[in-house]
Amino acid sequence: MLKHWGTRIAAAVIGVLALVWLGFWIRDLSDPYHLPGGDWRLFKKLFVTSDGRVVDTGNGNITHSEGQAYGMILAEAYGDRRTFNRIWSWTQKNLQTRPNDKLLSWLWKPTGKGPEGSITDPNNASDGELLAAWALVRASNRWNSYPYQQSAAELLVDLRRLAVRQTPSGLVLLPGVDGFLKADGLVLNPSYYVFPALRELAKIFPGSGWDQLDAAGRSLIREARFGKWRLNPDWLLDGEAITLGAPFPPDFGYNAVRIPLHVAWGDPTSDLLAPYGDFWKDFPDLAAIPATVNLETDAFGPDPSLPGVQSIARFVLACRSGTRLVMRDMPRVSRDEPYYSASLKLLTKVALRDTFGGNP
């Protein structure tokens, strides 16, 4: 008798799970911009620990403020409040520890296979605060929770005070509070200007200057173009002129590939996308896109681009050509790809949903 009832219960559970799966499948068909939940479940399994640390598997399993913020953006996008809270809680406990401000130390390294580790560079990375504040604002809107918005405001007040500078050409965002003011100019990272974040933060916190920084960032990207394809570099020097003289390789590479994503996210007709579209359309096989381009010599680096970069290219090329791109056209996260590639892939999907499907 017990065995009979156990069989019936098991069958009922399987039936319920089948109905749930069918519901997700029907939704994917009926809503071409629905984010597939399998991507997020795999991302969490591969890169998010039980206590909320986002692990950069491509860089010795370190954790950085950018990765925590990416995890928060994705958790909100997928409606996963529990994971959002875990990631933000870990971030507050382990990175928001600077004694004189609310900024996030950018680099935390593990000391073993367990949860132990420590901050190894207390400097901030300004995109980390910008992205985290944006994630908190989006979470506040989704879950109607004012404390999230309050935490965002605390981040932004100190970011505005310590890392945004007025220059003769307008506002600039320093990559970090310390180390980027040189005798011959400011070292800047154009990919730190996250335009969809700046637009939304300007609406939520009017008068704080984020709209001015948005405009200044677009002007910087328009001016800071180099090489045969007129691409933006990962790093530049803003002195008497904008040059490639920063103490970093003169590459369009792992940082700058985010610029067209930030531009296209909510602004798919921007003319700032033109150089990227012109470059990437020369690669009918997106897997052949190089990871880096030297903007002084136009030489390609030896490594192929990450799959996540190829997703950005697919999105940008669709924006440039006016081609209708839907979620099923975008590749899913694979079990063997590193954190950064998977992050770019999922962020591109969120951008696709926000831009063409409407942000719920």
In a domain, 5, yes or no: no
pLDDT at 1 over 70: no
pLDDT at 26 over 60: no
How much is the pLDDT for 59? 95
- Picking from 221, 325, 214, the residue whose alpha carbon sits closest to that of residue 276 is 221
SS3 for 63-88, per residue? Answer: EEHHHHHHHHHHHHHCCCHHHHHHHH
Strand partners, 48: 54
* Residue 8 located in a structural domain: no
For 116-165, what is each residue's pLDDT tens digit? Answer: 999 999 999 999 999 999 999 999 999 999 999 999 999 999 999 999 99
Q: What is the set of active-site residues? A: 66, 127
Token duo for residue 199: 């637009």
3 occurs within a structural domain:
no
In a domain, residue 155? The reply is yes
What is the pLDDT, as a whole number, of residue 268?
Answer: 97
Question: Which runs of E-coded beta strand occur in the chain?
Answer: 63-64, 105-110, 117-124, 164-167, 170-173, 181-182, 185-188, 236-238, 242-243, 251-252, 293-294
Q: Specify the number of domains making up the chain.
A: 1
Q: Show the tokens assigned to 203.
A: 């609406």
Angstrom distance (rounded) from CA 91 to CA 98: 12
Give domain status of residue 144, yes or no: yes
pLDDT band at 30 (very low <50, low <70, confident <90, very high): confident
* Span 45-78, pLDDT tens digits: 999 999 999 999 999 999 999 999 999 999 999 9
Task: List pLDDT tens digits, range 287-339.
Answer: 999 999 999 999 999 999 999 999 999 999 999 999 999 999 999 999 999 99
Please report the pLDDT score of residue 25 as a whole number: 44
Q: Residue 3 pLDDT more than 60? A: no
Average pLDDT, the chain: 92
DSSP character for 272? Answer: G
Q: Which domain holds residue 190?
A: 34-357
CATH at residue 74:
1.50.10.10
Establish if 139 belongs to a structural domain.
yes
Quote helix, strand, coil % in the chain, to nearest 5.
Answer: 50, 15, 35
Work out the average pLDDT over 217-233.
97
Query: Whole-prediction pTM value?
Result: 0.91
Confidence of residue 24 (pLDDT cuts 50, 70, 90): very low
For the cut 70, the answer to whether the pLDDT of residue 359 exceeds it is no
* Rounded Cα distance, 100 and 114, in Å: 30
The answer to whether position 42 is within a domain reads yes
Domain-embedded: residue 262 = yes
